[in-house]
Structures are given as structure tokens and as C-alpha cells.
Amino acid sequence: MTNADIVDLFEQTARLMELHNEDPFRIRTFSSAAFNIDKLQDDITQLPIAELTQIQGIGKSVATRIREIVETGQLTDLNELLNRTPEGVLAMFRIKGLGAKKIRVLWTELGIDNIRDLQMAAENGQVAKIKGFGAATQEKILASLEFLQSQAGKVRMDKAQMLARVLYDELKPAFPSVEISGQVRRQAQEVDTIQLLVETADVIGAMNQIDQLPMLTRNDSQSSPFVWRGQLSGSDVGVEIKLVPEGQLPRRLFIETAAEAHLEQIGPTGMTLLQAALTAPSPTDEAIYERAGLPFVVTEMREDQFAYRWASQHHPDELVTWEDLRGTLHNHSTWSDGKHTLAEMAGYAQSLGLSYFGIADHSQTASYAQGLRPERVAEQHREIDALNAGYGGAFRILKGIESDILGDGSLDYTPDVLASFDYVVASVHQTLTMTKEKATARLLKAIENPYTTILGHPTGRLLLAREGYPIDHKAIIDACAEHQVVIEINASPYRLDIDWRWIDYAQQQGVMLSINPDAHSTAGLLDMHYGVAVGRKGGLLKTMTFNALTLTEMVDYLAKRRQAKGF
């Protein structure tokens, strides 16, 4: 049990209390407790009630419930609410644009208690007739439902890797040769099947052993004598465990990891990559590509034919790696909505071997995230100067900001405040329902702003939760090339935005990309691993990776850019 687990339970309790129209004071108690606990840096799970009540924002009632959660893993208040709430109503909270109040209206006035009935009511025009909804809300509900249905049964890259590792650790004691394959091994940003390979000479015995694992449930209709298919407890993502004859694991690992579109490529020898994999005398990856007469492709890129075009012009050693990163430029601290102080964030970045740490806390319009007003910007800059004085030049904190792109495309702050930063990450956080034309025009205006250094998470998407707003990617990338604006690969596994499929086009236009973790805690800095993975999938060169610049190169770049822009 962690602080985050407690926060989740309190937030869910507050939402369901609002759904059931309970006492507003009690709702505020739970939501405030969640907010306050989320900001804490220290682990509170081991503290007794007396010490918990000494923490600002935690009274005896909340402290008692914290202890209940830690000791039992449950919260009585939440359990009672869950017992009164149909599962279908709970599922409605996943729909973009529907909060507790609107869900309550749908439930109490239309009798809708599941997503299927909600979709039918929206398609029949019933939702639009409800006071406070209208046709626009109805269309948003239908669009959100369509998106959620298309994402059903998938998990993000980070969760898929964690689940695959859990299964690997369970299988390894019973089977000496086990490999994670498929989408997880090639580091797909979304995974619908967690696949592992098990080498065995005893197929029946192996199947029996897999069936004994308590966290797995077999789907008999989809399984076969050599393939176990089913699900992992607590997840609706598919699990596939393939049994491989002894001596065939390397060859099968290659075949099962590459996407079908990649395996279908025909080489100059006249055979497909799949045929080469099945017949190559040596099962090494290099030998398989050589037999097909195709250039070698790294694991992450084995998605489609694009990889061959890239590999015909580049060498795998040109791809960016974790070791190439010299700094990080999009991060938050307790100055806005981060969990760790500026000094702690920078210190952790330094411990990772990075030579610069760019702070980009939220700007003033983001009041929900404690965005910095101009006077607080000045205060933060004074702290940065003091910290930098102690680093002796080997490490440096860069003064950045994540400036909200406002509805009309302008940036937060007046020019004099924007000029006080070393760089500006311009991002959209509000008004995400514009048409493609308006959304593109807004970004183009922000890109044309001389203070914009990096375009942050360009589409605003949240993988498996929120589709990005529609933009003309080519127009945006071309504008970034014209105005020398870097594009962010937001490395948070929740975003991974810009999509890897646009990386190569950006590079062709001369646009650099910055692998930014959007870290709100020290651990969040490690999300750059995910950014590196999708960067490599898209063919990102280390020479086109903005934060692969050394400290000296970065400082020089930013200084010359400021001079060229006239501020």
C-alpha cells in the first residue's frame, strides 16, 4: 500500500459520494484529503493516527481512514458506495466529458445504468433532450464511446512490460528457457496481447504447469495443444504463451516478435522475411535478414515496411539510446504540481548522470496545477541561481516554463516574463474539442511566437483514455521547421506524444525532437526510457535528439536562439 493507493481510494470515494448526491462537506473532506496526500513526499503508510493528524490537511477522521486502508486494503465508506452503484454506472466515469453530476442525471432521469444503454440513448437522440446536455454533449459522448470501444482489451507500454515481467518470473522456475516476445518485446505503445515463449519437450506437462498458475485463467476455445491463451487476473488484456520445441527458441522469438507487416516484406532474394526466418541455417537476427537480402532492423522498429526504408539509409548505431541523453527539459516541481522540490528533482537528474535539468513548471493560467504567477517566477529563478552556484559548472538547472497555449494560440505571460526564461515549452491543456482547422491554427500561432522553443505533447492525447485533438501534422511540423521549434516526444507512458509515426517526417524537415519525461516526481525522470523506445521505433537519430546536446552545446544553442529572435 502506497500514498498513491490511498489517494486513489479517497478520490474514488469523493466521486461516488457526488454521484449519490451526499453531503457536500463530506465530499470536500475526501477530495481535499486526496489532494493533500498526493502532494506529500514522505511515505505516510507507516504513521500512527497521532502522527498523521500532525500533517496539514489531515484530521482525525481522515487519519482513521488512512489506517483502515493500510491495515485492510479497503475503505468502508467506499465499499458501501460501491455496493449501491451498478457496475455499468461505474464504467461511465471513463467517458470523456461525463462527471459525477451528469452521470447521476443519466442514471436517475433516464434510468441508464450501463454503457450499452447510454450509447443507444445517445444514438436515438434522447441524451440531447436532457436539460444541461444538448446535441454537442451527446456527440462528444458518442465519440468517446467509439474511442473507448476501439481501445478495449489494451494496456499501455509500461503496464504491459510490468505484467509480462510478472508472468516471466512465474514461468522461469518451471521452464529454464522463457522469453518475452511480441508487442512487449518490440515495445509497442499499446499492447493487446502479452506474449511469452516457453521452450519444452513435454507439451502436455507444460500446459498443466501453466494451468496451475493462480493468476491465469485459460480460454479453452482459443487455446490449442501448443498455445495457451487466456487472461491475467485483474486485467482484460490477452495473454498468449506459446510452447516451442527444444532448440527452436531463437528462431521463434524472431518470428513472434516482428509484426506481420514486417515479416511479409520480400527481399531481393525473392523470399519474404518470414520465409528467411524459417529456413536460415543460423537463427540469429542478423543471419535471417541477410538470407532475405534485407538490411538489419532493430527490434523496436520491426513494425512495418518503413523500417526497411530507414535501414537502407542509416545504420542502427545512429539511433538514439538512453546513454546518448545529456539532460531533460520538461519537468515539474513543488513550485507547481510536482511531488518533489526543485533541488530534489535536479539532484536525482544529476545522479542519473545527466548534466542539465530543465524545470518547466506550469504557467499562471493553469491554476488547477498551481501555475506560477510572475512574482513566483522571479522567486523560482532566484532559487535556481542559488542552486546553480553550488554545482560548480559541471551541472546546471535551466530556467524553463510549460506555458499554456491559450484558446487563440497566444502564450501565457507578457513578453518581458517570457524573455526571462532560458526556454519555453508551449503546450495545450484546455479547450481540447476544437475542429482540426482551429486546433491547427492555434498551434501554428504558438509555433510562430518567438518565445516558443519546444512544442509540448502536440495532440494532448492520453493513451487508452483520451484521443488527441485533430491536427494537420504536416503543417505543424513544417511550421516548426520554419521557426526552428523543437517538437517534444512526451515520454510519459500515458502520452508518448508526438506519435512515433511522425518522427521520420520531422527529421526530414530538419526538426529536432526532445525526449521529455514531463516528470512530476523523481521517479518520473525514468520515463525517458519509454521515450527512447518510441523514438527508436520512429527512427530517431541521436544527432536529431535535442536533449542529446551536451550542456555546453545546449547553453550555446539557447543563447544563439534568443539572440536570433531578438530578446
pLDDT for 208-252, tens place per residue? Answer: 999 999 889 999 999 999 999 999 887 888 999 999 999 999 999
Residues in CB range of 382: below 8 A, 6 or more apart = none
Q: How confident is the model at residue 532 (pLDDT cuts 50, 70, 90)?
A: very high
Rounded Cα distance between 490 and 463, Å, is 12
Task: Give the per-residue pLDDT at 169.
Answer: 95
Of the ranges 37-41, 121-125, 509-513, the best mean pLDDT one: 509-513
CA–CA separation, 269 and 566 (whole Å)? 57
Q: State residue 314's pLDDT score.
A: 96
Residues 174, 178, 180: CA angle, nearest 5 degrees: 135
Angle, helices 24-39/60-72, rounded to nearest 10 degrees: 70
The amino acid sitting at 246 is E
Q: How far apart are CA 549 and CA 544, in angstroms?
A: 9
Owner of C-alpha cell 498551434: 443
Residue 145: pLDDT band (50, 70, 90) is confident
The whole-angstrom separation of Cα 176 and Cα 198 is 8
- Return the SS3 of 400: strand
Compute the distance between CA of residue 192 and CA of residue 203 in angstroms, rounded to an integer.
25
Block residue for cell numbers 532493430: 298
Percent of the chain scoring above 90 in pLDDT: 80
Per-residue pLDDT band at 432 (split at 50, 70, 90): confident
Q: Where are the beta strands (DSSP E) in 93-250?
A: 155-156, 178-181, 190-191, 193-199, 216-218, 227-232, 238-244
Burial (0-12, 13-18, 19+ Cβ within 10 Å), 158:
middle
What burial letters (b/e) apply to 324-336, b meaning 16+ CB within 10 Å?
A: bbbbbbbbbbbbb
Instruction: Determine the pLDDT at residue 120.
Output: 85
Mean pLDDT across the chain, nearest whole number? Answer: 94
Q: Which residue has the cell 521517479?
A: 523
Here the cell at position 391 is 554545482
Kindly report the backbone phi and psi dihedral angles of residue 224, in degrees, each rounded to the nearest multiple of 5, phi listed first: -140, 175
pLDDT at res. 42: 84
Within a 10 A sphere around the Cβ of 54, how many other Cβ atoms? Answer: 9
Closest CA to 463 of 201, 194, 189: 189
User: Cβ(377)–Cβ(401) under 8 Å?
Assistant: yes
* Strand pairing class (155-156; 190-191): antiparallel
Contact partners, residue 444, CB within 8 Å, separation at least 6: 409, 475, 476, 479
405 strand-pairing partners: 411
Q: What is the pLDDT of residues 348-407, one digit of tens each?
A: 999 999 999 999 999 999 988 899 999 999 999 999 999 999 998 889 999 999 999 999
Look-up of cell digits 436515438: 124
Does residue 326 surpass a pLDDT of 80? yes
| Strand arrangement of the beta sheet that strand 327-328 belongs to | 327-328, 356-359, 396-404, 423-427, 454-455, 486-490, 513-516
Q: What is the pLDDT of residue 151?
A: 72
